[in-house]
Copies of this chain bind each other. A is one copy, B any other.
């Protein structure tokens, strides 16, 4: 394996692209009227837009994050008026995470920003290559026995 230079290391490349996209999303959210949305909120929002009222543990499984990480994420999202925690009537250990009105309203502009940023980031790269890379990444997650892939 070639590891003489950083740019030969796939971990370095993946990390840097991740930071790059995060920075681009943050900037575009801020300048597109959805400044309360942070890149890290995306995995929660996209899950809830599909199925509102999920449990914390369900959200963390879908996002691939630890429940303890989800706690802080939801704190900030609640502060930013995107979600609300509500008690589960049948199991008092459980909190249901519900979208607020704002959380539902930002859906279209947020998805537009994500599509625009991803399009710009992958500008000039054939769609087939992007698909192949996504398959490879999904394969990696499967290798690691990750759920929800």
Q: Which A residues fall within an 8 A CB radius of B?
A: 1, 3-22, 24-25, 39, 42-43, 46-47, 50, 62-64, 111, 114-115, 118-125, 129-130, 132-134, 136-141, 143-144, 146, 148-149
Contact = CB atoms under 8 A, between A and B. Distances in A.
Given A50-B5, A146-B16, A10 B123 contact: no
Contacts of A14: 14, 17-18, 21, 137
Given A4-B50, A123-B143, A130-B136, 6 more contacts: A1-B118, A7-B138, A11-B21, A13-B137, A16-B146, A133-B136
Contacts of A132: 129, 132-133
8 contacts: A1-B119, A6-B62, A13-B138, A16-B137, A24-B144, A125-B140, A132-B133, A133-B137
Given A64-B19, A114-B3, A124-B139, A13 B134 contact: yes
Contact of A10 (B10, B25, B124, B133): B133
